[in-house]
Chain A
Amino acid sequence: MKYIDEFRDGELARGLSAAIRQAADPARRYHFMEFCGGHTHAISRYGVTDLLPDNVRMIHGPGCPVCVLPIGRVDMAIRLALEAGVTLCTYGDTLRVPASDGLTLFKAKARGGDVRMVYSSADAVALAQKHPEKQVVFFAIGFETTTPPTAVAIRQAQALGLKNFSVLCCHVLTPSAISNILESPEVRQYGTVPLDGFIGPAHVSTIIGSQPYEFFAEEYRKPVVIAGFEPLDVMQAILMLIQQVNSGRAVVENEFSRAVTRDGNRKAQNLVAEVFELRRQFEWRGLGVVPYSGLRIRKEYAVFDAERRFAIDYRSVPDNKACECGAILRGVKRPQDCKIFGTVCTPENPVGSCMVSSEGACAAHYTYGRYKDSAGVPA
């Protein structure tokens, strides 16, 4: 496919790999975090790590929206389906996220809950329109990429005068998560990860632009390179990060200029600002409670807010004790460090959320990387 295949070209990859080797100073070690699950997936699937010199290490960040969804939020969706009797619409990825009492949305469906997978928020609106007798709730998760489509759906429901559509809003913000990785008190609990720079989000940045990362490059003196989700994009970004580190710079650079501008998508930003406001705090799986890191629906649109309509409250639930997702999402542990990785916890039967989505660090490592480890090659 055009604009995909060219960015996976093996010849070009060989060239970039040579460029990275030449740029990397053998006397230094480089630790870069790719924030997004999309990058984690590309790195694992295309074996990008094999094309890097040993002193360049990639650390998987928390940017997989399914992986950071806390158990308590999935519980709310399950309660809506089983206790409030709503028709719960959700993106496919959330169906298998483990929640309390051994339940998932998928199992809730088997128990008689009306849980439906939708491809788009617009499908949920259409369902509500078609079935005025049902209360339809859209379980809205995701980063800045997925938030504008939810805003459009709410506005559409308003324009249609729907009385039976609402949204369980679990949208979260990328920049707050990145700052949290660098400065939260939990860093003490998990130890710190040495981080020399970040690969910034691809699709999130099409919406918010490259500008929001500027503060953060300056404040924490960490280079940020925004990159597309194809393997060559990731390699080029690594090269750019190495060059910044070598020259002592810490600025925001944009490798994904074919889709990202400094200002981002203003139309989408305005829609989001119209419908949503900041929550004072939001709990993330792995990162804990992060101040001003999530969105809720403004009171002007309160009738579309499932949390108000059904008076369900959020209850925090700790993760499975064996699960190392918390440390993995912060980059201080690797999937293979988890005792139950690949044995008890597998993509078919995930215990933690990092194993659920193909963008999760554990799932990506299970699918593309574990054989290499078992052959005794250090990862």
Chain B
Amino acid sequence: MHGAHDSENLELGLEGLSKVEGHVDLEVKVTKGKVEYAKLKIPEAKRFYTQAVRGKPMTAIAQLVSRICGTCSMSHIFGCTKSIEDAVGLVPSEQTMKQRRLSMWAHLIRDHPLHLYFFVLPDMFDKGSVFDFTSPEEKKIIATALEIKAAGNNLSKMVAGRSIHAPWPVLGGFTQIPDKAKYPNIVHDLEHAREHSLELLDVFYDCPWKFENKTTYVGMVGPNFDYMSGDLLSSDGLKIPEKDFGQYAQRIWRDYSTASAFLLQGKDYMVGSLPRLNLGKKFLHKQTQKDCAKQLGRFPSKNVYDNNLAQAIETIDSINQSIDLLESTDFKPEKPVQPARKDGAGFAVVEAPRGVLYYNVNIRDGKVQNMSVAIPTGQNQVRIEKDLAELVQQQVDAGKDKDYIVHEMEKLVRAYDPCLSCATHFLKVKWKK
């Protein structure tokens, strides 16, 4: 083991952080016991979707931007669709909004557990991977986690046609409605998933990891807790109109990263589950408020690792909301609403599982002129780097060795549930050489 003396001068490089979606490298430099910088380097090759959509019919691009990210595809479909509908004056039916809500909840029910049980749980059990859970008790935990994930995946299939790159959502509606004959099985599985999620909730509540930061929490919250509507709030007391988000959030460029980072009015901020519960826990389903009363007492929280607990609670909430809606709704065949016009500028915010996703689109004669997007991991980047610098400073001061510090860095970045597939595609392309 190395002592404090060895960490006086350190260059920590971690190429390819494991158990995150996409590729990211970490780099930290310590000189004479002081952290000089921490960098979150996103080296993936851009795919230029914001260029690729230009000139394409507005009805076609939701399926294209879905391919920005296999993890967050549902959020991209609805973020993009919402912005185009804003641009061309299209108001979807109440039934469409219900089907979209179900799609987003289904998305949450499969995506949060993937992060919690495949990426976070191995760290909590001091294992390298989910495949290292081999004793009967450990296998039981994994079986439970898989059942929760499956309930979300199957709900996605029923309400959107598929969980990844869902084929049914279109501009103004859906091409198909959920098959009522499937409700009983889906609801049965969701009820089991709720039970299992409640059983596993205290794994995250009792987790002793702690890293408190001082930042601004930003999220869109409101009645229904549907990740698509409500007010975009900040813990500084701001209420940001969706169309003005682009003016509040500044895109900044890091020369070591192919993704854009963002500041909100010049300051770092955090988006994701923790901000949503910090700002809007009162909007959760009554059943969630009842069943998770103890755990919800933790919020508002400044502990980054409570993002994991927040995700576990949101999973339960999405299950409660879905069961409620399915039991009270008869979907009837209806045609997608047609746009009122073919020109306009549109703005939309939705909540991806990992935070605020912003779309701005300009439509001319029914075609996309240009589009810009702010993705959650880009918005968290500046805060993650500051957290890393502070974390490493604490650990160096405490005399921890290099391997320990690197592991702590990984854990901290994972708590933000970064999604690098999304992050690599929205670098502002015009800058001075």
A and B: partners? no
Residues of B within 8 A of A (CB): none
